């Protein structure tokens, strides 16, 4: 019996080698993540420790997203880098959430983050602010900054580029809106560019009259 088993074992094909390549790839991915994190740390990203102040949570998101404008990385890497800046209670929260939601993208991260640190009542107020937002006496650049900041809380109102363009154009100051509306732009970037150009042209046109008025005043004195 023992001799028979020995012969059968000799006839079996050799065992396949262990899959070394996936292990190597995993180590390479870890090395890239470490290198990316070190580079991101040099930019001194804002830290977030949690708490009950939604304005601090919003300020942290704005600070992180500002860095992402110049620090090129994938959506998944954004989540990894943002998680690196969480400390204290926020870090403990993410350790629980991150284990359940592996592979989430940046938009999904913001959704769970705001759900935790931005109460619904504050969110509703931001939507109300966006609904009432007008350019007023602000410059186009100032108005655009407010528009962009508040729009993320009311995505249902700007979920297409056309709707975003109409919303932005609809509450521009009258003199600027007239110059933009006549062109019937369908893209937000075109509406913004035209509004900025119109504001600049109007300022240039008014400048000689202001200078002339000052000169006449100096002569009368």
Within a domain: 6: no
Radius of gyration in angstroms for the set of CA atoms belonging to the chain, rounded to a whole number: 29
With H, G, I as helix, E, B as strand and everything else as coil, classify residue 66. helix
- Asked whether residue 188 falls in the same domain as residue 166, the answer is yes
* Helix 54-68 and helix 106-117, axial crossing angle in degrees, nearest 10: 160
Contact 36, 74 (CB under 8 A): no
Residue 203, token pair as written in the block: 């300022």
| pLDDT score for 128 | 96
- Asked whether residue 134 falls in the same domain as residue 207, the answer is yes
Contact 158, 164 (CB under 8 A): yes
Which of 103, 118, 133 lies at the terminal end of a domain, its last residue? Answer: 118
* Helix 140-151 and helix 120-132, axial crossing angle in degrees, nearest 10: 150
Domain count for the chain: 2
- Asked whether residue 129 falls in the same domain as residue 216, the answer is yes
Q: How many CB atoms lie within 10 A of CB 29?
A: 10
Residue 88 and residue 109: Cα distance in Å, rounded? 18
- Asked whether residue 114 falls in the same domain as residue 145, the answer is no
- Asked whether residue 201 falls in the same domain as residue 138, the answer is yes
Residue 144 and residue 139: Cα distance in Å, rounded? 8
Within a domain: 83: yes
Which of 80, 102, 118 lies at the terminal end of a domain, its last residue? Answer: 118
Within a domain: 10: no
Contact 86, 69 (CB under 8 A): no
- The H-assigned helical ranges of the chain are 2-11, 20-42, 54-68, 75-84, 88-100, 106-117, 120-132, 140-151, 161-170, 174-181, 188-220
Domain containing 206 equals 124-220
Residue 61 and residue 40: Cα distance in Å, rounded? 15
Residue 127, token pair as written in the block: 């939507």
Which of 89, 118, 147 lies at the terminal end of a domain, its last residue? Answer: 118
What pTM value is reported for the model? 0.57
- Asked whether residue 175 falls in the same domain as residue 113, the answer is no
- Asked whether residue 114 falls in the same domain as residue 131, the answer is no
Which pLDDT tens digits describe the chain residue by residue (221 residues)?
Answer: 545 545 554 555 554 554 444 444 444 556 777 889 999 999 999 999 999 888 899 899 999 999 999 998 998 899 999 999 999 999 999 998 876 666 789 989 998 998 899 888 888 999 999 999 999 999 999 999 999 989 988 989 999 999 999 999 999 999 999 999 999 899 999 999 999 999 999 988 876 555 555 545 555 55
């Amino acid at each position: 019996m023992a001799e028979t088993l020995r012969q059968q074992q000799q006839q079996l094909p050799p065992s396949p080698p262990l899959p070394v390549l996936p292990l190597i790839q995993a180590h390479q991915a870890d090395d890239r993540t470490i290198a990316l994190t070190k580079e991101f740390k040099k930019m001194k990203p804002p830290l977030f420790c949690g708490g009950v102040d939604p304005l601090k949570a919003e300020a942290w998101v704005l600070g992180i997203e500002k860095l992402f404008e110049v620090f090129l990385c994938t959506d998944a890497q954004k989540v990894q880098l943002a998680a690196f800046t969480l400390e204290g209670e926020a870090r403990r929260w993410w350790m629980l959430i991150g284990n359940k939601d592996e592979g989430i993208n940046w938009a999904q991260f913001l959704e769970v983050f705001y759900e935790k640190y931005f109460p619904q009542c504050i969110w509703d107020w931001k939507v109300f602010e966006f609904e009432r937002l007008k350019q007023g006496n602000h410059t186009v650049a100032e108005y655009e900054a407010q528009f962009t900041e508040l729009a993320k809380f009311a995505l249902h109102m700007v979920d297409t580029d056309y709707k975003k363009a109409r919303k932005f154009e609809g509450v521009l100051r009258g003199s600027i809106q007239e110059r933009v509306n006549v062109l019937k732009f369908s893209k937000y970037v075109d509406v913004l560019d035209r509004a900025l150009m119109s504001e600049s042209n109007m300022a240039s046109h008014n400048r000689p009259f202001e200078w002339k008025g000052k000169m006449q005043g100096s002569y009368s004195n």
